[in-house]
């Protein structure tokens, strides 16, 4: 992901679903936004509004050995600019993939 992305090089996310949830809640992420529809094998999702009106969005998926987190940056937060968010639906932003080994 381009600028505005988050790097996990300095912090290690826990390898359990409970740990991933706790990690995000402790850093100001909102869990399971009300308007979102879950995708197949998705366990949970998180959003974090940014000061410029955009937001970060992460979806956590289950796998046999790993949790996979798909992250993208919406140019418009649908809670603040629902019409602007339509652009992110029509032209989806690039995703960053993060794999967390289950413990």
The predicted-structure confidence for 11-53, as pLDDT tens digits, reads as follows: 578 899 999 999 999 999 999 877 677 778 899 999 999 999 9
Whether 9 maps to a domain, the answer reads no
Give me the residue label for tokens 């029509």.
Answer: 90
Any domain includes 12? no
Residue 87 maps to a domain: yes
CATH code of the domain in which 76 resides = 3.10.450
Assigned domain for 1 exists:
no
Residue found by looking up tokens 């937001």 in the block: 55
Asked if residue 4 belongs to a domain, the reply is: no
Domain assignment present for residue 10? The answer is: no
Q: Are 45 and 29 in contact (CB under 8 A)?
A: no
pLDDT tens, residue by residue, 60-93: 999 999 999 999 999 989 888 888 888 887 888 8
| Ramachandran category for residue 28: left, alpha or beta (phi over 0 → left; psi -120 to 50 → alpha) | left
- Closest-CA residue to 27 (of 9, 44, 47): 47
Domain count for the chain: 1
- State how beta strands 30-31 and 42-49 pair: antiparallel
Q: Write the CA distances from 61 to 29, 53, 76, 80, 84, integer angstroms.
A: 17, 26, 24, 27, 27
Confirm whether 84 is domain-assigned: yes
Q: Quote the domain boundaries for residue 31.
A: 17-101
């Amino acid at each position: 992901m381009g600028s505005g992305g988050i790097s996990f090089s300095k912090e290690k996310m826990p390898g359990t679903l409970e740990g991933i949830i706790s990690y995000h809640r402790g850093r100001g992420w909102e869990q399971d936004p009300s308007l979102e529809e879950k995708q197949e094998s998705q366990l949970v999702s998180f959003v974090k509004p940014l000061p410029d009106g955009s937001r970060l969005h992460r979806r956590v998926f289950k796998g046999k050995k790993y949790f996979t987190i798909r992250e993208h940056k919406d140019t418009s937060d649908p809670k603040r600019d629902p019409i602007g968010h339509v652009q992110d639906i029509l032209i989806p932003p690039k995703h960053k993939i993060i794999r967390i080994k289950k413990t």
